[in-house]
Structure 1
Amino acid sequence: MQLSTGDAEAPGRGPRVLVVGGGIAGLSAAQRLYQHGAFPHLRVLEATARTGGRIRSERKFGGMVDMGAQWIHGPSQGNPVFQLAAQYGLLGDKEMSEENQQVEMGGHLGLPYVSYGSSGQSVSPELVENMASLFYTLLDQTREFLHVTDPPVPSVGEYLKQEVGRHAASWTEDQDTKKLKLAVLKSFFNLECCVSGTHTMDLVALGPFGEYTMLPGLDCTFPEGYEGLTNCIAASLPKDILVFNKPVKTIHWSGSFREETLPGETFPVLVECEDGDRLPAHHVIVTVPLGFLKERMDTFFQPPLPSEKAEAIRKMGFGTNNKIFLEFEEPFWEADCQSMQLVWEDALLLEDAAADLQDTWVRKLFGFLVLPTFGSGHVLCGFIAGLESEFMETLSDEEVLQSLTRVLRRMTGNPQLPAPRSVLRSCWHSDPYTRGSYSYVAVGSTGDDIDLLAQPLPGDNTEAQLQILFAGEATHRTFYSTTHGALLSGRREADRLISLLDAKGQPPQPRP
C-alpha cells in the first residue's frame, strides 16, 4: 500500500497519530486509539510486508512453528496477552484451565528429559537434577540484591560463578565427577543466556535483576502459532490504518510543518520515509526494537535525542537468541522425550569461551525441545544466544545442518545417526529492523534507564509534550523482554494520548 502526503489523512479535525512499527506494541497502541474513537487520523507504518514484528509464525514441517516469541509467560488473569488470546479463542482447554493458571514456576524451566555428554554417554539424571537445583537456588538469590546499595559484584554471572566456586570447593567426588558437574552447570548458564537474551550473564546487572516480575501460570504456546494473536489484533483495525513496506528514515520533531491539504494548520512532527514520503503528524508513537534504536538513533531523530535518553539507549542491554529447527525422517529420541540437553564435558565454567567461533559456536547451544509431531516430520527446536548465535547467522543452512549433525552423532554416541532432512533457523541479529531479540538490564544500567527510554518528547515543558512517544518491550520496567510487556507499553502510550485529549475536553466516540 502506498501512502503519500496528499492522501495520508482526509482533511478534518482531530489529532494525526502515526505509529512506527507493526509489532504487538504498535498494534495494541493502534487498537486502543481506534477503539477510543477520537483519533480519526491514525496510521501504523510498518517497514515490512507483515505485522507481528518479533512475533513471527511460519508454516513448515507440515505445521506451524514460531520463529520468534513462543510462550505466553505466566498465562494467568494478570497477563493481558493471555486475556486477549482467550478472548480470541486461540488457546486450548489445557492452556485455559484454572490448574495451569495457578502454577508458580518462579522462572524455572523443567528438567531436560535426557542429557547427552560429549563423550557419547548420557549424563546421570540425578547429577543433572542436583546441578539444576543448585543453579536455580543461586539464580533465585541473585534477585535479592534489588534494594542493596552496594551489591557484592556488578553482574549476575560473576555472582553465580563466585557462588558455584564456593560450593565446588566442598565437593568430595573424584575430579572427573567434579568436572562433569561444572560442565552441566555451564549448560544451564547457556540456557539462562537464552532466557535473558544476552551473550553472557556477566553482562546482566546484578542489582536490578530482581525487578523483572514473573506472573503465575504454566508457560504455554499457541497451537496455531503466536502470530494468530497479532493477526487478530490487526483484523480489529480498518485496513487503511495499516501501511506496509513503509520503513521510516527520520522523525523530525519540535518543528512547525505544514500539509498541503490543510494550509492553515501546522504540525510539530514530520515523519520522513525511506521512499521519500513526508508525513506530518501531531503525535508519533515509536515502537521499534531497542536494537534498531541502538544502531540508528543518531540519524533516526532530528534534532537528536536528548543526551540522557541517548545514553540510556546505549547503556541498556539488547542481545540475540535464535532458534534452529531440525527435521528428521524418523525420531532418534524416545516417544515421551520432551527435551534434551547438550553437555560439553570439557567445558570450563569459570573461564571465558574460546574466541574462534568457527569451530566452537555449537558449544553455546543448550539443547533441543522436541516439538509435537505434526505432518510427516519429527522436529527438534534448538536455542542459542549471544555472539555464537550471531555467528551462526553468517553460515549457510547446509553448514549449520552439517555442524549439528556432527554434534548429535557425537553426543548420542551414534556415528551413523541419520542427518536431519531439513533445517530452519531464525536470524534476528541480521534483520535490519530488529538487530537482535530482546532487552535486558545491562551492567552499568538500571530500571531507571528503561523509564527514561519510555518518557515522551519533548520533556522540558508541558505545552509541547507528547510529540514522540515510546513503546515496546524495552520500555516496560518490570516486564521487559516479554510480549505482555510490549502489549502493555503500547496501551500505556495510547492511554497517554487519550488522557491528553480528555484533558482538552474532546469527547470520545466509541467504536461499535
Structure 2
Amino acid sequence: MASLFYSLIDQTREFLHVTETLVPSVGEYLKKEISNHVAGWTEDEETKKLKLAILKTFFNVECCVSGTHSMDLVALAPFGEYTVLPGLDCTFSGGYQGLTDRIMSSLPEDVMVFNKPVKTIHWTGSFQEAAFPGETFPVLVECEDGSCFPAHHVIVTVPLGFLKEHLDTFFDPPLPAEKAEAIRKIGFGTNNKIFLEFEEPFWEPDCELIQVVWEDTSPLEDVAPALQDAWFKKLIGFLVLPSFSSVHVLCGFIAGLESEFMETLSDEEVLRSLTQVLRRITGNPRLPAPRSVLRTRWHSAPYTRGSYSYVAVGSTGDDLDLLAQPLPAEGASAQLQVLFAGEATHRTFYSTTHGALLSGWREADRLINLWDLQVQQPQPRL
C-alpha cells in the first residue's frame, strides 16, 4: 500500500505544466486512482478493508506533510512545484533559537527590540523622528503598546495565518486588492506535535516509528465523526526520539481540524486519550501512562494561527510570488517601503525552515542592492 500511495503521489507531480486537470485537488486525484485499483483487487472483503485503512493512514501522513486538514484542499496542478531539499533533516541542539542566535551573533547587542507586537504598519506616508530632524520616513511601525518606529523599509515576516486574520487592520493604507486576494487564497493549516515521556520504553530498542492504522476507515469514505469522539484517529503515529539520560520520548503528529480541536483540550484529557490509544494498539490494558505530555498549539498561538502554508485549490505558485512582491508596486516613486519574507513567500520551498531563511536573505539582498545603487550614483557637485 505504501508503494501504491507514493507512486500515485509521484503522479500528482506530473500535472505541473498541464493546462487543465480533470479534478482540482490532490485528494480527489488520489481517491479516483485508488478506486480504479480497488476494482481490480481480488482479496476477501476483510483484506480489502484493511488495505483501505492503511491507505487512509498515508492520507493522514500527507496531511501532516502539507499542513492541511484534507488533501482535497490542496491544488493538484501546482503540487509538483514544491521542491524537496536533498539531504537529511537537521535538528538544532537546543532548539531553533540556536539558528537565530547564530544569525544575531554578528549584530551589535543593542539593535534588537523584543516584546513589541505590531498593531499596524503605516506606509506611503511622511513621518518624522526627533532623533533625525529634517528627515522624513515613508513607513511607521505602530506597536500594540502605542510606541512607534519610523523607518525607510520594513520586512514583514509574520506567518500567513496572522496575515489572514489581521488583513483589514495590519496595513494602512490597506494592501492592494491582488495581494490581499493572494493572502486569502493561499492555504494555511495546522500540524501539531505531541510529545509523550515514559518512565520505561515499551517499544523495541531498534524501533524508530510506531505507525497507527485504524480499522474500518477508508480514504474513499467522507464520514466525519464528532471531533470529541475521534480526534485522535487523525494521529499518524509516533516517532521514537533518541533516548538520552534515561529519558524516553515519543513524538506524535496530528494535522487539520482534529489537531486544532486537540489544542482546546487539557493536558490531562490528551494524556488520557493517548494512553487509551497506546493500550489498544499494544494490546496491553495495563500499559503505564506517560509521565508527562508536551505539545505545540500552533493554531491557538495569536501570532501564528496555524503552522505553515500550502497551495490550496483556487491558488497557484503565482500567488506566493505575488505575496513576495514589495510595496509600493514597481514603478512607484517610493522604493521598497514594505517587503515580505517567510515560508509562504517562497514558491518552491514553502512550508519549510529553509524556505523561510532563503526568503529573508532574498529581501536583505533586495535592500542591499537598492542602497548599493544609491551609493554608486554620482553625487551632485556643490
Shorter chain as denominator, the TM-score bin is over 0.9
Q: Given that residues 120 and 143 in structure 2 are in contact (C-alpha distance below 8 angstroms), is that contact kept between their aligned partners in structure 1?
A: yes
Shift of 1:262: 2.3
Shift of 1:405: 0.5
**Normalising by structure 1, what TM-score?**
0.72
Shift of 1:235: 2.3
1:458 equivalenced with 2:309 (yes/no)? no
Shift of 1:220: 3.8
Root-mean-square deviation over aligned CA pairs? 1.2
Runs (5+) with no aligned partner, structure 1: 1-130, 508-512
Shift of 1:505: 2.2
Map 1:150-229 onto structure 2 (within 5 A): 150-229=20-99
* Structure 2 counterpart of 1:383: 253
Shift of 1:213: 1.1
Q: Quick one: which of 351, 357, 360 aligns to 2:230?
A: 360
1:277 equivalenced with 2:277 (yes/no)? no
Instruction: Give the whole-Å Cα distance in 1 for the aligned partners of 2:170 and 2:94.
Output: 36
Q: Given that residues 55 and 218 in structure 2 are in contact (C-alpha distance below 8 angstroms), is that contact kept between their aligned partners in structure 1?
A: no
Q: Deviations over 1:309-333 (max 9, x none)?
A: 0000000000000000111111111
CA separation of 1:141 and 1:498: change in aligned 2, threshold 3 A: same
* Structure 2 counterpart of 1:316: 186
Q: Given that residues 271 and 293 in structure 2 are in contact (C-alpha distance below 8 angstroms), is that contact kept between their aligned partners in structure 1?
A: yes
Q: Deviations over 1:52-81 (max 9, x none)?
A: xxxxxxxxxxxxxxxxxxxxxxxxxxxxxx
Instruction: Give the whole-Å Cα distance in 2 for the aligned partners of 1:220 and 1:244.
Output: 27
Map 1:284-363 onto structure 2 (within 5 A): 284-363=154-233
Structure 2 SS opposite 1:178: helix
1:136 equivalenced with 2:6 (yes/no)? yes
1:248 equivalenced with 2:113 (yes/no)? no
Letter aligned with residue 315 of structure 1: K
Instruction: Give the whole-Å Cα distance in 1 for the aligned partners of 2:3 and 2:164.
Output: 37
* Structure 2 counterpart of 1:266: 136
Q: Quick one: which of 271, 283, 293 aligns to 1:423?
A: 293
Instruction: Give the whole-Å Cα distance in 1 for the aligned partners of 2:372 and 2:92.
Output: 37
Q: Quick one: which of 16, 33, 38 aligns to 1:146?
A: 16
* Structure 1 counterpart of 2:380: none
CA separation of 1:408 and 1:374: change in aligned 2, threshold 3 A: same
Shift of 1:174: 0.4
Map 1:469-480 onto structure 2 (within 5 A): 469-480=339-350
Greater RCO (CA < 8 Å, at least 6 residues apart): 1
Structure 2 SS opposite 1:221: coil
Shift of 1:230: 1.9
1:468 equivalenced with 2:338 (yes/no)? yes
Instruction: Give the whole-Å Cα distance in 2 for the aligned partners of 1:356 and 1:239.
Output: 51
* Structure 2 counterpart of 1:370: 240
1:238 equivalenced with 2:96 (yes/no)? no
Map 1:116-127 onto structure 2 (within 5 A): none
Shift of 1:504: 1.1
Q: Identify which range, 458-467 or 263-272, moves more after superposition.
A: 458-467
Letter aligned with residue 330 of structure 1: E
Instruction: Give the whole-Å Cα distance in 2 for the aligned partners of 1:232 and 1:137.
Output: 40
Shift of 1:411: 1.2
Q: Deviations over 1:1-56 (max 9, x none)?
A: xxxxxxxxxxxxxxxxxxxxxxxxxxxxxxxxxxxxxxxxxxxxxxxxxxxxxxxx
Q: Quick one: which of 273, 281, 296 aligns to 1:403?
A: 273
Structure 1 SS opposite 2:212: strand
* Structure 2 counterpart of 1:19: none
Q: Deviations over 1:368-391 (max 9, x none)?
A: 000000123211000000000000
Structure 2 SS opposite 1:170: coil
Instruction: Give the whole-Å Cα distance in 2 for the aligned partners of 1:265 and 1:480.
Output: 38
Instruction: Give the whole-Å Cα distance in 2 for the aligned partners of 1:506 and 1:419.
Output: 67
Shift of 1:228: 1.6
Q: Given that residues 190 and 259 in structure 2 are in contact (C-alpha distance below 8 angstroms), is that contact kept between their aligned partners in structure 1?
A: yes
- Indicate the percent of aligned positions where both proteins have the same amino acid: 79
Shift of 1:241: 1.7
Shift of 1:341: 0.6
CA separation of 1:169 and 1:284: change in aligned 2, threshold 3 A: same
Structure 2 SS opposite 1:243: coil
Shift of 1:348: 2.5
* Structure 2 counterpart of 1:12: none
Structure 1 SS opposite 2:142: strand
1:438 equivalenced with 2:308 (yes/no)? yes
Map 1:39-58 onto structure 2 (within 5 A): none
Letter aligned with residue 309 of structure 1: K
Instruction: Give the whole-Å Cα distance in 2 for the aligned partners of 1:271 and 1:215.
Output: 35
Q: Deviations over 1:424-448 (max 9, x none)?
A: 1000111101111000000000000
**Normalising by structure 2, what TM-score?**
0.96
Instruction: Give the whole-Å Cα distance in 1 for the aligned partners of 2:150 and 2:225.
Output: 48
Runs (5+) with no aligned partner, structure 2: 378-382
Shift of 1:297: 1.5
Instruction: Give the whole-Å Cα distance in 2 for the aligned partners of 1:311 and 1:395.
Output: 33
Instruction: Give the whole-Å Cα distance in 1 for the aligned partners of 2:296 and 2:232.
Output: 15
Structure 1 SS opposite 2:169: helix
CA separation of 1:225 and 1:257: change in aligned 2, threshold 3 A: closer
Q: Deviations over 1:253-272 (max 9, x none)?
A: 01111112223111111110
Shift of 1:355: 4.4
* Structure 2 counterpart of 1:36: none
Instruction: Give the whole-Å Cα distance in 2 for the aligned partners of 1:248 and 1:233.
Output: 22
Instruction: Give the whole-Å Cα distance in 2 for the aligned partners of 1:168 and 1:255.
Output: 62
